[in-house]
Copies of this chain bind each other. A is one copy, B any other.
């Protein structure tokens, strides 16, 4: 209580290795060995050290350790705050975090969250990452044009992404089979007799938007149909608007594959307002399988992707990467069609 407070109110004299060593009557080196689980310490000594540790409530200082080991046991999740999926009720973000957190926790690593909201934030993040705060970086949903990937590319920091490809750099990534999922949706629509199948696509500056459109186009082409596309930004509102456009342009459409459930939810409303029955007049399939699918009217058929698992896999890869291992450039997780009542 008499110690100089420099910054913060960390008053109590910190317990160090030295203190433990003194109490246990051994050297600092020995305490360090015990604390780090070395097998070359005589059991008796080990025990007395452990007792001293417990008595004193010793916990190794992170900074000191990290200074010498050159590793922090922390990993950064960088994501663009602007990302509409992050702050809607899309559940992408919570699910991702849950997966990351689970797997990181199992490895006794920590997650630091970096939101790249604006230019200032971007500078801060870059500085932070380069300052050796973390052992690796998980890049989520970076947009095309985002400068960070480029910067990171020139670094020796391990990076993993969930995007198929960023501007010029390409990091190994872990994604879901969006192309396949979209194609499966269209295939189902075709298989159930739909003939004029439109799509509401997502933003075309990120894989989630691009790939789902690719899958749609591919399958439409395969069946000799022609593409009918409107574009939204993954929000409900944009879904409503896009659906109106579609209806105006192609009044005779009988199905829509929508690149996100939220947009599909919006589309459902437009359809209802326009007096079209779903699925009788027009079938709708979304993408993501968020909770609202079960509560919409009618319940929404969709493509399910396992974001929690994606998070876990992302972690497994970055962990390997930061051990110097080489990992597969791409891991693609499967998706599945879940049928409810809208198609």
Interface residues of A (CB under 8 A from B): 5-12, 14, 57, 59-64, 66-67, 69-72, 74, 81, 86-91, 93-95, 97-98, 101-102, 105, 108, 110-115, 117, 120-121, 124, 127-128, 130-133, 135-136, 156-158, 236, 265, 269, 290-292, 295, 297, 321-324
CB-CB nearest in chain B for A322: B8
Q: Of B8, B63, B102, B117, which is within 8 A of A324 by CB?
A: B8
Contact yes or no, B132 A105, CB < 8 A: no
Q: A114-B110, A156-B9, A324-B5 are in contact. Are A72 and B63 (CB under 8 A)?
A: yes
Q: Name 12 A/B residue pairs within 8 A (Cβ), A-sorted.
A: A5-B324, A6-B71, A7-B70, A8-B71, A59-B131, A61-B132, A62-B66, A62-B131, A63-B63, A89-B292, A108-B124, A110-B114
Contact yes or no, A86 B94, CB < 8 A: yes
Q: Of B57, B121, B156, which is within 8 A of A105 by CB?
A: B121
- Which chain B residues border A9 with CB–CB below 8 Å? 156, 158, 321-324
Q: A8-B158, A70-B6, A95-B87 are in contact. Are A295 and B130 (CB under 8 A)?
A: no
Q: Of B10, B62, B291, which is within 8 A of A89 by CB?
A: B291
- Other A-B contacts than A59-B130, A236-B291, 19 sampled, CB-CB below 8 A, are A8-B323, A9-B156, A9-B323, A9-B324, A59-B132, A61-B131, A62-B72, A62-B131, A63-B63, A67-B67, A87-B98, A89-B91, A89-B290, A101-B115, A105-B115, A108-B124, A110-B113, A110-B128, A297-B297
